[in-house]
């Protein structure tokens, strides 16, 4: 079952903060976050593992609430380069494959 | 440098024709995946493979097939192309032996139009 992302779209001015949420109805082992720029392939940003370990990105952070099966991606002091569509991908224990959300389009204006 | 490539990058075909999209990775990854991307649906998994001779159906596998005869390649075949299969197709690979985080590396995509 596809995780649900919210909001579907966000428009910010450069320097503002954004939060993107990802919710699943299934018990999760990990949550991956990817960013896709227009016309390009998705690129891995970050992973949140059950138990709290994460591999991060320099200027972007994330959290994983295991009780609620929710993850949030935090982009602070946004830059123009942050524009793109953000996808969460959820992984169940032992599955190795991901189920992706429908994406959140982030637009950063100068 | 290791990479993952897809060919062709653009393809126009007619309804009913058989089409094969190629995916080749030099990461030596065990896991390979095929996704389709349509507006409003995100990335949906078509087929995936965890190793040579292993293939599995994803959530939208009807009308598609794959085979894995070596580590590097996972071609995707549309048996009889339909207009509903017009989409952008992405191939990806991953391997926990290379990274315990098992992140996926995506190819550049193939834009397929079925007329």
pLDDT 10s per residue in chain B (115 long)? 789 999 999 999 999 999 999 999 999 999 999 999 998 889 999 999 999 999 999 999 999 999 999 999 999 999 999 999 999 999 999 988 877 778 999 999 999 999 9
Say what the pLDDT of residue B100 is. 72
Positive/negative CA dihedral, A68, A4, B105, B18: positive
Say what the pLDDT of residue A96 is. 84
State the nearest Cα–Cα gap between A45 and chain B, in angstroms. Answer: 9
Residue A95 confidence (pLDDT) above 90: no
Q: In chain B, which among 47-106 make CB contacts under 8 A with chain A?
A: 48, 50, 58-59, 90, 94, 96, 101-106
Main-chain phi, psi angles of B85, to 5 degrees: -95, 5
The residues with which B34 forms a beta bridge, in sequence order, are B47, B91
Query: What domain range includes position A37?
Result: 4-109
B-interface mutation test, from A41, A44, A51, most B Cβ less than 10 A away: A41
Question: Stretch A3-27: mean pLDDT, rounded?
Answer: 94
Q: pLDDT for B61-78, tens place per residue?
A: 999 999 999 999 999 999
Least confident of A63-67, A106-110, B12-16: A63-67
Q: Which residues contact A58 (CB under 8 A, 6 or more apart)?
A: none
Task: Note whether A61 and A41 are within 8 A (CB).
Answer: no
The closest CB to that of B42, out of A30, A43, A102, belongs to A102
Computed over every residue of chain A, the mean pLDDT equals 90
Q: Which residues contact A51 (CB under 8 A, 6 or more apart)?
A: none
Positive/negative CA dihedral, B12, B18, B22, B23: positive
How many helices (H) and strands (E) chain A has is answered by 0, 11
A-interface mutation test, from B27, B93, B94, B104, most A Cβ less than 10 A away: B104
**Total domains in the fold of chain A:** 1
Say what the pLDDT of residue A56 is. 65
The closest CB to that of A100, out of B42, B94, B103, belongs to B42
Say what the pLDDT of residue A57 is. 66
**Contact residues on chain A for B50, CB-CB shorter than 8 A:** 96
Task: Note whether A21 and A71 are within 8 A (CB).
Answer: yes
> The domain that contains A84 carries what CATH number?
2.60.40.10
Q: pLDDT for A21-43, tens place per residue?
A: 999 988 888 899 999 999 999 99
**Contact residues on chain B for A42, CB-CB shorter than 8 A:** 43, 90, 104, 106
């Amino acid at each position: 079952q596809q995780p649900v992302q919210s909001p579907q779209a966000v428009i910010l001015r450069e320097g503002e903060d954004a939060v993107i949420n990802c919710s699943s109805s299934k018990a999760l082992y990990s949550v991956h976050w990817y960013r896709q720029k227009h016309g390009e392939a998705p690129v891995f940003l970050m992973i949140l593992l059950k138990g709290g370990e994460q591999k991060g990105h320099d200027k972007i952070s994330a959290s994983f609430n295991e009780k609620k099966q929710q993850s949030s991606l935090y982009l602070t002091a946004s830059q123009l380069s942050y524009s793109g569509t953000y996808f969460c991908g959820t992984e169940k224990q032992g599955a190795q494959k991901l189920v992706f959300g429908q994406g959140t389009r982030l637009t950063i204006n100068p | 440098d290791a990479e993952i490539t897809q060919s062709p990058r653009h393809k126009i075909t007619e309804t009913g024709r058989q089409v094969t999209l190629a995916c080749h990775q030099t990461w030596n990854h065990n896991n390979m995946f095929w996704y389709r991307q349509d507006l409003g649906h995100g990335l949906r998994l078509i087929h995936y493979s965890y190793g040579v001779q292993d293939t599995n159906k994803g959530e939208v596998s009807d009308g598609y097939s794959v085979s894995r005869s070596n580590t590097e390649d996972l071609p995707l075949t549309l048996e009889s192309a339909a207009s509903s299969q017009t989409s952008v197709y992405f191939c990806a690979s991953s391997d926990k032996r290379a990274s315990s985080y098992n992140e996926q590396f995506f190819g550049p995509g193939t834009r397929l139009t079925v007329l």
